[in-house]
Amino acid sequence: MPEAASAAASDLLAEARERTDALLADWAERLEREIGGRQGEALSYALRTPGKRVRAALLTASYRAAGGSLPAIAGVAAAVETVHTYSLVHDDLPCMDDDDLRRGRPTTHRVFDIPTATRVGYLLVPVAARLLAVAAGELGVASGTAGAMARELFQAGGIEGMVGGQWLDLEAERRRLPLVELIAVHRGKTGALIRAACTLGGMAAEADAPRLAALTAYGEDIGLAFQIADDVLDATGTSEELGKPVGRDAQLAKSTYVVLLGIEGARAEAQRLARSAVAHLHKAGVPSGALGALAGYIATRSS
Ligand code: GRG
């Protein structure tokens, strides 16, 4: 990846981390007081865990590429990151991946307990809805747009997207899936929320239909590329680099791009998808500087 694009992607991610972390820390403090006790503490712990904030960076870059310029977009990005955090808290539970480490810290159920972490996951969903509603108000989008944004986020997070993909993934453990079925799993469990982040950025900027479709198509390709890179990192990265256990796919005998295409084949496919993602933007005349840099980062990332 060219040095200038790599620096641009690092800057975008650093900005997304700073804004998202600050906003979520405020909400964590408020919710800890509202809920109280150990449940409030656990919710605050999960909300404050420091992610890479890739979805927030994609959403903000999509918003700006569609002409948006208001700082309140950070609230929409935080709503998407909150749905993502809920999925990680539940994914780490013993009934799913049973992991002890996430984002370089002990998982929520290890610090607290399984019932508390389970409730944290459920509680985060309405927190995401509140974040989105407040941000839509601050951005001053039309009420129809605000409703459409909520539908986009929660459909992507539901049975047609993230939950459905995770469900298929759990059912596929210890089974070798053909590529077409693996693509459906990856597009659901990981791709749907990433695609929604890009679409939501466009919606918040009231992009016209061709530009919105281009951002969605970009998000669709980059969402799949993100999960392919995750498959590669699970096979090649270290727990220190990733802040989570590695080698879990092999332990659970999961079908992955690495199993089907090999490490180099998987890397090549992630890069092909990153190029395809950016081509959608070019065709619709959507500025591709920041989104192109993020696409390059996503396909070649090392953490
Ligand atoms: C009830 C079936 C059912 C599901 C509940 C648990 C769940 C919903 C969905 C799981 C979705 C999931 C964990 C997908 C994996 C996505 C992924 C690649 C996560 C890692 O994302 P990063 O690298 O993480 O962006 P950070 O920590 O940086 O935010």
Using an 8 Å Cβ cutoff, are 101 and 107 in contact?
Answer: yes
User: Which ligand 1 atom sits nearest the alpha carbon of residue 227?
Assistant: 18
Place of tokens 């089974």: 175
Contact present, 270 and 225 (Cβ < 8 Å): yes
φ/ψ of 20, rounded to 5, equals -65, -45
Where is average pLDDT lowest: 13-22, 77-86, 240-249?
240-249
Contact between 174 and 253 (Cβ < 8 Å): yes
Residue 174 has pLDDT above 90, yes or no: no
Range of the domain at 192: 3-300
Q: How far is CA 43 from the centre of its chain?
A: 19
Which percentage of the chain shows pLDDT scores above 70?
100
Closest atom of ligand 1 to CA, residue 81: 29
Ligand 1: which residue has its CA nearest to atom 29?
51
CB burial readout 95-132, b (16+ within 10 A) else e: eebebeebbebbbbbeebeeebbbbbbebbeebbbebb
* CA angle (215 as vertex; 155, 211 as ends), nearest 5: 115
**Ligand 1 center to 228 CA (angstroms):** 13
The DSSP output letter for 102 is: E
Upper half-sphere CA count for residue 142 (Cβ side, 13 Å): 7
Identity of the residue numbered 145: T
Ligand 1 is surrounded, with C-beta below 6 A, by 51-52, 54, 84, 87-88, 90-91, 96, 103, 162-163, 166-167, 189-190, 227, 230
Which atom of ligand 1 is the closest one to the Cα of 163? 4
Confidence of residue 2 (pLDDT cuts 50, 70, 90): confident
Q: Whose CA is nearest to atom 17 of ligand 1?
A: 190
Residue 263 CA to residue 265 CA, distance in Å, equals 6
To the question of pTM greater than 0.85 for the whole model, the response is yes
Distance 163 CA to ligand 1 centre (A): 10
The residue type of 147 is G
- Minimum CA distance residue for ligand 1 atom 15: 190
Which residues, including other chains, have CB under 8 Å from residue 238's CB and lie 6 or more apart?
246
pLDDT for residue 107: 98
Closest atom, ligand 1, to C-alpha of 50: 27
Predicted confidence (pLDDT) at residue 189 exceeds the cutoff of 90: yes
Report the distance separating Cα 152 and Cα 170, nearest Å: 24
Angle, to 10 degrees, between the axis of helix 257-284 and the axis of helix 289-300? 170
Instruction: Tell me the pLDDT band of 175, cut-offs 50, 70 and 90.
Output: confident
Hey, which of 166, 222, 230, 233 would you mutate to test ligand 1's pocket, going by the most ligand atoms within 8 Å of its Cβ?
166
What is the chain's Cα-based Rg? Answer: 18
- Partner residues linked to 10 by β-bridges: none
Helical H segments across 66-113, by residue range: 73-91, 108-111
Domain count, the chain: 1
- Predicted pLDDT at 145: 97
The CATH number of residue 156's host domain is 1.10.600.10
pLDDT band at 177; cut points 50, 70, 90: very high
Q: What is the pLDDT of residue 1?
A: 79
Which residue in the block uniquely carries the two structure tokens 């749907």? Answer: 192
Its sign, for the CA torsion 228, 281, 160, 90, is: positive
Distance 237 CA to ligand 1 centre (A): 18
